[in-house]
Structure 1
Amino acid sequence: MNRKPLFDAARVLAGGKLIQAQVDDLNKVVDGLSSTQGMTTSRVGINLITSFEDEKLNAYDDGVGVWTIGFGTTVYPNGVKVKKGDVCTAEQAKAFFTYDLKRFEAAVNGAVKVSLTQNQFDALVLLTYNIGSAAFKSSTLLKKLNTKDYAGAADQFLVWNCGGGEVLKGLVRRREAERTLFIKK
C-alpha cells in the first residue's frame, strides 16, 4: 500500500508537519487496515486440509485420545465434544467442516497482525485447523510472524510434529506441506 497520499493528507490536517509519534500512530492504523482481516481459505488450502483430514462418518480416536469425526471435527457447532460411537452423514461432515474452517480462519485473521499472501494464510489455517486456535495464538510461530520474521515463522511449522509426546510421520509430512505452502510465492 502506498502510504504517501495518506501522510500528505495528514500533514495538511496537522498544519504542515507531523511529529514522529503521529507518524508511528498512522503506521499502526495502516498496518491494521492491511492485516489479514477478512481473508478466507482458497480452494488450494481447502484441498490440502481435506487431503490430510479424510472424511470419516464414524467417530474415531485420532491416535492421541481425541475423538474426531467428519473432516477432523473434534467439537460440534453446538459446543459438544465428539465422542466414541458418534456417527454423521456426509452432508453433516461437510457442514461441520464449513463451521470449523470459518472458526480457524477467524482465529488466524484475529491473531495475525502483518500482511500475508494467500498461500501463507492457507498454510496458517491448515496448521490451526490441526493444532487448535489456542495453541496457534500462543505459538512461537505467531510471535515470529507478527514481528515480520517470515523465515523464522516458516521454520516453526516443523516444530509441530508430535502427538502424544512422539514424533508422528503423518504430522511430519503435514508440517512439511504447510511450510512449503507458506514459503511458496
Structure 2
Amino acid sequence: MPYDDQTGRDIDHYVKGATISYGYLITSPAIFEKYKNGITRQKVESLFKEKLFEFEKAVKKSIKVNLTHNEYDALVILCYNIGSHAEGFPTSSVVKIINDALNGSLDDSWKAWRISQNKINSGLVKRRQKELNVYHRDSYIRVD
C-alpha cells in the first residue's frame, strides 16, 4: 500500500511524499492512482531494480576514489534517498569530502541530509546513522 513518507502511515489519496515499495516516490496523483491498491512483490522488486541502476551509476560517476564494498553500498543507499539529480548526491558535500575536494566532517555532511518538507525528520536521522554504520563499520544490521 502507498504510505506517507513523513509519517509512515498508509494513505488512500495522493499527498506530497506519497511512497510505495522501497522508498519509491509517487510523484503525481495520476501515478498514485496506478499504485493506490498496492503492488505485488514482483512489482516491488521490479521498481527497486529499475531505480537502483540510476543510483549506482550516479555513485560510480561522482566518486573519483577507490571505495570498499561497504562504502559503495552506503553511498548508493544515500544516493537512492537524496537523489541522483544535480541538487542531490553528485554535488553534495559528502561527495566533495570523499573526493578530497572539500575539507570537513564526512559524518556531519552525511547527517545534514535529515530534512524533509522543511523539517528535521527523525526517521531520516536514524536512516543517516544506519548508512554511516554501513560506510564506516561494514554493519548492515538493522537497528531501530
TM bucket by the smaller chain? Answer: 0.7 to 0.9
C-alpha contact (below 8 Å) 1:71/1:93 kept by paired residues: yes
CA gap of 1:59–1:149, structure 2 versus 1, over 3 A, is: same
Q: Which amino acid letter does the alignment assign opposite residue 129 of structure 2?
A: E
- Structure 2 residue matching 1:133: 3-state secondary structure: coil
Q: What does residue 105 of structure 1 align with? A: 56
Q: What does residue 45 of structure 2 align with? A: 94
* TM-score normalised by length of structure 1: 0.59
Q: What does residue 180 of structure 1 align with? A: 133
CA deviation digits over 1:48-79, x for unaligned, max 9? xxxxxxxxxx2233228222211111269xxx
Q: Which amino acid letter does the alignment assign opposite residue 132 of structure 1?
A: G
C-alpha contact (below 8 Å) 1:67/1:84 kept by paired residues: no
Q: What does residue 117 of structure 2 align with? A: 164
How much does 1:118 deviate? 0.8
Higher RCO by CA contacts (8 Å cutoff, separation 6 or greater):
1
C-alpha contact (below 8 Å) 1:101/1:129 kept by paired residues: yes
> Which runs of 5 or more structure 2 residues have no equivalent in the other structure?
7-14, 139-144
Once residues 105 and 182 of structure 1 are traced to their aligned partners in structure 2, the CA distance between those partners, rounded to angstroms, is: 15
Once residues 167 and 84 of structure 1 are traced to their aligned partners in structure 2, the CA distance between those partners, rounded to angstroms, is: 29
Q: What does residue 21 of structure 2 align with? A: 70
Once residues 91 and 31 of structure 2 are traced to their aligned partners in structure 1, the CA distance between those partners, rounded to angstroms, is: 24
| Aligned 1:44-83 pairs, distance under 5 A | 58-63=1-6, 65-74=16-25, 82-83=31-32
Give the ranges of 4+ consecutive aligned residues of structure 1 lying more than 3 Å apart after TM superposition. 148-151
Number of aligned residue pairs: 124
C-alpha contact (below 8 Å) 2:26/2:32 kept by paired residues: no
How much does 1:152 deviate? 2.8
RMSD in angstroms over aligned alpha carbons? 2.5
Q: Which amino acid letter does the alignment assign opposite residue 168 of structure 1?
A: N
Higher helix share: 1
CA deviation digits over 1:6-55, x for unaligned, max 9? xxxxxxxxxxxxxxxxxxxxxxxxxxxxxxxxxxxxxxxxxxxxxxxxxx
How much does 1:104 deviate? 0.9
* TM-score normalised by length of structure 2: 0.74
